[in-house]
């Protein structure tokens, strides 16, 4: 089990709802992933349109917990207003907080992120901030009241896996009381297993599943990888060694110390 702001979940995967080939495949992939939390965004509804309502019906059929995001926000003000709209729309205090600082890398704006997290937490929100692997920013987010922190593995949609392993390990060591979720940049099931093996509480996936040739099969593969990674972490991984160490017993080896 993993807990986010006092709510328990059996799955350690959060999944996005964007970029799937069709709404039906999105639903099947989410079910195959076993994820109990899905991320959604907020966008303008077209006049007379039913686009948002149709999408919302699909999500409600899945019977999952919704984590709305502030994707696309580039200022503290935009992020806060979007969070307030999300609270009104979904009747939830949860918000995946994104304050983007650079359009090319979609790198979070750490200054704006911390400021927005402080304001939202004081206003009763339960904030899931999307951040880089920077330790100081993570510490400030914890001070701001965040009990979940979501550093990237690599830029959003890049499928590169964990780039800065040492920094992510350091976050895990220094923030034992915070639920840590690797949020972006995972491309393969092995990347997800990697994050769980480092002791991360969960991963958040979207593009790697939605853009796979078979999103439903890939969702299942990620589900298995997340489970394997967590079990591996709990089982206690041996540390790396600089030199070889034989696994087959040496004692009793034929011809050992044979006199020539």
Partner 1 sequence: MLVVLNGERTEIVARNLAALLSEKDFAHTHVAIAVNQRVVPRAAWPVTALNSGDQIEIITPRQGG
What is the nearest approach in angstroms of partner 1 to the Cβ of residue 8?
24
Does 45 interact with partner 1 (rule: CB under 8 A)?
yes
Choose which of 127, 206, 222, 223 interacts with partner 1 (CB under 8 A): 206
According to the binding rule CB under 8 A, does residue 39 interact with partner 1? yes
Question: Could you tell me the sign of the dihedral formed by the alpha carbons of 190, 195, 198, 202, in that order?
Answer: negative
Among 4, 11, 13, 17, binds partner 1 (CB under 8 A): 17
Q: How far apart are CA 62 and CA 250, in angstroms?
A: 56
Would you give the distance in Å from CA 222 to the centre of its chain?
A: 12
For partner 1 (CB under 8 A), the number of binding residues is: 40
Query: Which member of 3, 24, 61, 88 binds partner 1 (CB under 8 A)?
Result: 88
Question: Under DSSP, is residue 96 helix (H, G, I), strand (E, B) or coil?
Answer: strand
Which residues, numbered 47-86, are part of the site for partner 1 (CB under 8 A)?
47-53, 55-56, 59, 68-69, 71, 77, 81, 84-86
Q: Does 18 bind partner 1 (CB under 8 A)?
A: yes
Task: Give residue for tokens 């304050």.
Answer: 99
Nearer to partner 1, 48 or 249 (CB): 48
DSSP letters spanning 101-166: EETTTTEE-HHHHHHHHHHHHHTT-EEEEEE-S-HHHHHHHHHTT-SEEEE-SSSTT-----S-HH
Catalytically annotated residue among 96, 122, 169, 211: 96
**Residue 25 or 139 having the CB closest to partner 1:** 25
- Of 44-52, 171-179, 234-242, 245-253, the segment contacting partner 1 by CB under 8 A is 44-52
* Neighbouring-strand partners of residue 148: 179
Contact 99, 123 (CB under 8 A): no
φ and ψ of 45, to 5 deg? -85, 140
User: b/e string for 208-240 if b means 16 or more Cβ within 10 A?
Assistant: bbbebeebbebbbbbbebbbbbbeebeeeeeee
| C-alpha–C-alpha distance, residues 9 and 65, integer Å | 10
Answer yes or no: 96 catalytic: yes
Q: How far is the CB of 113 from partner 1 (least distance, A)?
A: 17
Beta bridge partners of 259: none
Site string (150-189) toward partner 1, x via CB under 8 A = ------x---------------------------------
Does residue number 41 form part of the binding site for partner 1 (CB under 8 A)? yes
In this complex, which beta carbon is closest to partner 1, that of residue 6 or of residue 48?
48
In the bound state with partner 1, the residue whose beta carbon lies nearer, of 108 and 199, is 108
Query: Within 10 A of 71 (CB to CB), how many other CB atoms are there?
Result: 20
Q: Which residues bind partner 1 (CB under 8 A)?
A: 16-20, 26, 39-53, 55-56, 59, 68-69, 71, 77, 81, 84-90, 156, 204, 206-207
Q: Name the residues annotated as catalytic.
A: 96
């Amino acid at each position: 089990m993993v807990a986010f702001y006092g709510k328990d979940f059996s799955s350690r995967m959060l999944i996005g709802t964007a970029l799937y080939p069709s709404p039906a495949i999105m639903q099947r992939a989410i079910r195959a992933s076993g994820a109990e939390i899905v991320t959604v965004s907020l966008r303008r509804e077209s006049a007379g349109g039913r686009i948002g309502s149709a999408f919302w019906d699909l999500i409600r059929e899945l019977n999952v917990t919704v984590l709305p995001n502030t994707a696309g926000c580039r200022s503290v003000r935009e992020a806060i207003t979007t969070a307030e709209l999300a609270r009104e729309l979904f009747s939830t205090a949860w918000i995946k907080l994104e304050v983007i600082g650079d359009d090319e890398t979609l790198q979070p704006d750490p200054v704006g992120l911390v400021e927005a997290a402080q304001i939202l937490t004081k206003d009763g929100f339960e904030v899931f901030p999307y951040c880089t692997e920077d330790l100081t920013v993570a510490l400030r987010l914890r001070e701001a009241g965040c009990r979940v922190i979501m550093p990237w593995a690599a830029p959003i949609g890049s499928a590169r896996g964990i780039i800065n392993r040492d920094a992510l390990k350091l976050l895990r060591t220094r923030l034992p009381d915070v639920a840590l979720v690797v949020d972006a940049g995972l491309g393969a099931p092995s990347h997800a297993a990697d994050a769980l093996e480092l002791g991360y509480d969960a991963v958040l996936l979207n593009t790697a599943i939605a853009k796979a040739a078979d999103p439903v099969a890939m969702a299942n593969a990620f589900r298995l990888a997340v489970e394997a990674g967590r079990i591996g972490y709990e089982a206690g991984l041996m540390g790396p060694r600089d030199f070889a160490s034989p696994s087959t017993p040496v004692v009793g080896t034929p011809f050992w110390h044979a006199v020539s």
